[in-house]
Structure 1
């Protein structure tokens, strides 16, 4: 696949992020509202004014090296909800990307694929 197509994807997602307000509704270390045993390893929220496949804002993980340039995306499948989503990773270190990957692959019902920017 031509690299220009890949770069066009990253440029488009960067534009989406730059034109949106980031809302963090689950700070690092907070518990999932429905499953208290699940703790968010990195700040988690959404892009205000956007719509994801679940009808809510596009999900975003914001790491400790905060940057508005997208470093990766996580494609997820939830077998219980029978849905899929794309989650944006901003300013995440390699360690934070690994924690996010583990977060989305912690059960048989949730699987994620991490796609990093080259």
Structure 2
């Protein structure tokens, strides 16, 4: 039995957020983090304009090298310094790029993340009238 139950309707909403807002790239692949110069972005990093997130101006996105029109996975980050949970979208990442993003985000003891891959299942509780 899986620890996570996917819901195809949830992913439709995530795709709608992505497709209905402009992606603004803030850091290109290979750029250094503005506060921590030892952290180098493994893929392009940006945000969806006109969206909101708890600690940033916009939902954050890691964009890989593949062309993609839907979100393939989410990363949930627990940050004890910010006392926050953050959600980040993965778009067009290869398996190798996914791993690099996870390594990038898990370098510190102050933040740890999990990856949730897209699924197509619709559980009974996910169906509404």
TM-score strictly above 0.5: yes
Number of paired residues?
Answer: 116
Query: 1:66: Cα distance to partner?
Result: 2.6
Partner of 2:102: 101
1:18 aligns with 2:26: no
- Could you tell me the TM-score, scaled by structure 1's length? 0.93
Superposed CA RMSD in Å reads 1.5
Following superposition, which runs of at least 4 residues in structure 1 exceed 3 angstroms of deviation? Answer: none
Residues 1-41 of structure 1, C-alpha deviations (whole Å, 9 max, x = no match): 9x7x6101100000110000000011000000011111000
Name stretches of at least 5 consecutive residues in structure 1 with no aligned partner: none
- Choose between structure 1 and 2 for higher RCO, CA contacts under 8 A separated by at least 6 residues: 2
- Could you tell me the TM-score, scaled by structure 2's length? 0.85
Aligned equivalents of 2:69, 2:75: Cα separation in 1: 16
Residues 37-88 of structure 1, C-alpha deviations (whole Å, 9 max, x = no match): 1100010000000001114100001000031210000000111111111000
1:87 aligns with 2:94: no
1:6 aligns with 2:7: yes
Aligned to 2:7, what secondary structure does the other structure show? helix
Name stretches of at least 5 consecutive residues in structure 2 with no aligned partner: 120-129
Q: Which has the larger radius of gyration?
A: 2
Partner of 2:63: 62
Indicate the structure with greater strand content.
Answer: 1
